A = this chain, B = another copy of it.
């Protein structure tokens, strides 16, 4: 009994020491970041000196070169590029435009959806039919839809506390709406911008055509003007409302591009990996600050933090700037493919692609309730004082998703910032550096570095 007690108290002592070490390490990570953080100035450079960087563009290539140089400057063990072919969609040089033609002509703000085809040179003019869902297309049928522009106008549901769920449930209108409407003979599609915010920004984003379908042009309209159009359609006393829009986008042949990878080599398990990343490409309308410049600069910052703390990881740790998340996911797929080819074992992958807002925590994809409980019990108290205490079941992210198919034991983790402001700027001309808060960005980077440290030190099981 006495021996047992001694053993027990030794264990408690060791466990107490480990906790104190972890706590100290995490405090040091935050101190370094909040005093000497570099992610905010890196983001400034990316947004202001490079700017928009849609896949296949000259700017995307500039961003790749910038990313490689930045990583090399930090002196990690290895920096390399992973070649990958990416879609090359361009909005076109000529201006997009749209007009509601009712009893008066009202110019409205639209933006072609990513991967959409162009309208004919002189645009399309057609009567409009408003629907709230893809299902409603079936109810209405071909007779009602043929020859018309379908206007998807189901708003965000404000009752979701996390706006990501509102995006998730409204998003089918944008990514699947145009292909569905084409089946019923629609000549074009206008989609209400995916945001709860009432403003004049059209929110672009990818739409997916289907194989052997008719590809009809599709654009997003600002929420204020979606409301206006809807109101005019309801005024039956007026002449039938028509909608005109013109866009010049096209899909060019696939272009060569790259993921950019930095690596700190593991001292015990060099072939086991913990990866943290975001996506380097952005939509073409703005600077891609929150989507996903913040994820990029936070990822490399997490590695920088561990390096300047003198931390020697057991496992190899990588920061990955994935290419082509917005309209193809080719970078994420290539990374997983190469990991498989090279027989790299991935323990965990963390993705930051929900904006650089104040941290709330992390979501863990497909982990067992027991593991999630253990993560909460052991690491929750270490992260909660920094506002990152939410460690919940949830998605990882689309760049790291393909790793799962190749490596069943990998734990996919999404960085979870506060979501309230994200869809105010998401995919709009307003996604600019000025809307990122320095401390929020830094706290996120420090939380990622802390989680990587915990996973590397204690494992995930």
Distance in angstroms from A430 CB to nearest chain B CB is 12
Q: A387's contact among B196, B418, B439, by CB below 8 Å, is which? A: B418
Q: Are A159 and B358 in contact (CB under 8 A)?
A: no
Alpha-carbon distance between A385 and B440 when the two chains are bound, in angstroms:
21
Q: A440's contact among B34, B159, B420, B437, by CB below 8 Å, is which? A: B420
Residue from A196, A418, A421 having most chain B Cβ neighbours under 10 A: A418
Residue numbers in B under 8 Å from A386 (CB-CB): 161
Alpha-carbon distance between A229 and B39 when the two chains are bound, in angstroms:
27
What residue in chain B is nearest A357 (Cβ atoms)? B358
Residue numbers in B under 8 Å from A31 (CB-CB): 159
What residue in chain B is nearest A198 (Cβ atoms)? B438
Query: Assuming A358-B358, A418-B418, is B161 touching A443 (CB within 8 A)?
Result: yes
Q: Are B358 and A158 in contact (CB under 8 A)?
A: no
Q: What range describes how many residues of A lie at the interface?
A: 20 to 34
Residue numbers in B under 8 Å from A358 (CB-CB): 358, 418, 420
Alpha-carbon distance between A207 and B387 when the two chains are bound, in angstroms:
32
A 169-206 to B, binary, CB cutoff 8 A, 1 in contact else 0: 00000000000000000000000000011000000000
A 133-168 to B, binary, CB cutoff 8 A, 1 in contact else 0: 000000000000000000000000011010100000
What residue in chain B is nearest A439 (Cβ atoms)? B420
Distance in angstroms from A310 CB to nearest chain B CB is 19
Residue numbers in B under 8 Å from A440 (CB-CB): 420-421
Q: Are A163 and B439 in contact (CB under 8 A)?
A: yes
The 7 closest A-B pairs by CB, nearest first: A34-B158, A420-B439, A420-B440, A358-B418, A358-B420, A31-B159, A34-B159
- Other than A163-B439, A196-B438, A420-B443, give 20 A-B pairs with Cβ distance below 8 A: A30-B159, A30-B161, A31-B159, A34-B158, A34-B159, A35-B158, A161-B385, A161-B387, A161-B443, A197-B438, A358-B358, A358-B418, A358-B420, A360-B387, A387-B418, A418-B418, A420-B437, A420-B439, A421-B437, A424-B437
